[in-house]
Amino acid sequence: MSETPSPTLRDVQRLVDQWIHQYGVRYFSPLTNMAQLTEEVGEVARVMARTYGDQSAKSTDDLSKDHLADELADVLWVLTCIANQTDCDLTAAFERNMAKKTARDKFRHLSNPKLYNHES
């Protein structure tokens, strides 16, 4: 029995676009999606601050890994909407970004003593 391959970034962009056109009528405006992205990142920040930071959790907070994953997926969704509506190829951009980071930082972090002897 073979496993279904995980979607690529290109697949994700295509799937989001198909969903928008089938169920969402149209994309929200880019500015609305930017505000939505900010809201979703804030939701990730709340879970992170209350799970890994110093902030106290409320009795109504869901701090499960599944909830964090759902919030991160919401960020990915809106980010993908913005990429689609502004005609950005996330695969090509990610590949360029990895090459840039590698060229710039391939030795920088290895020699940073602040990154060692720290609990992850």
Range of the domain at 108: 9-115
Task: State pLDDT tens for residues 64-88.
Answer: 999 999 999 999 999 999 999 999 9
How many independent structural domains does the chain possess?
1
Does residue 84 come out as left (phi exceeding 0), alpha (psi in the -120 to 50 range) or beta? alpha
Q: Is residue 4 part of a domain?
A: no
Residue 110, token pair as written in the block: 């290895």
Q: Is residue 120 part of a domain?
A: no
* Whether the predicted model's global pTM rises above the 0.85 cut: yes
Q: Is residue 98 part of a domain?
A: yes
Q: Is residue 19 part of a domain?
A: yes
Q: How far is CA 57 from the centre of its chain?
A: 23
Q: Is residue 73 part of a domain?
A: yes
Q: Is residue 82 part of a domain?
A: yes
Q: Is residue 84 part of a domain?
A: yes
Average pLDDT, the chain: 94
Q: Is residue 33 part of a domain?
A: yes
Separation CA 2–CA 14 (nearest Å): 23
Separation CA 86–CA 57 (nearest Å): 37
pLDDT band at residue 1 under the 50/70/90 scheme: low
Q: What is the DSSP letter of 22?
A: I
- Is residue 3 predicted with pLDDT exceeding 90? no
Contact (CB, 8 A) for 68 and 51: yes
Kindly report the CATH number assigned to the domain that includes residue 102: 1.10.287.1080
Contact (CB, 8 A) for 36 and 28: yes
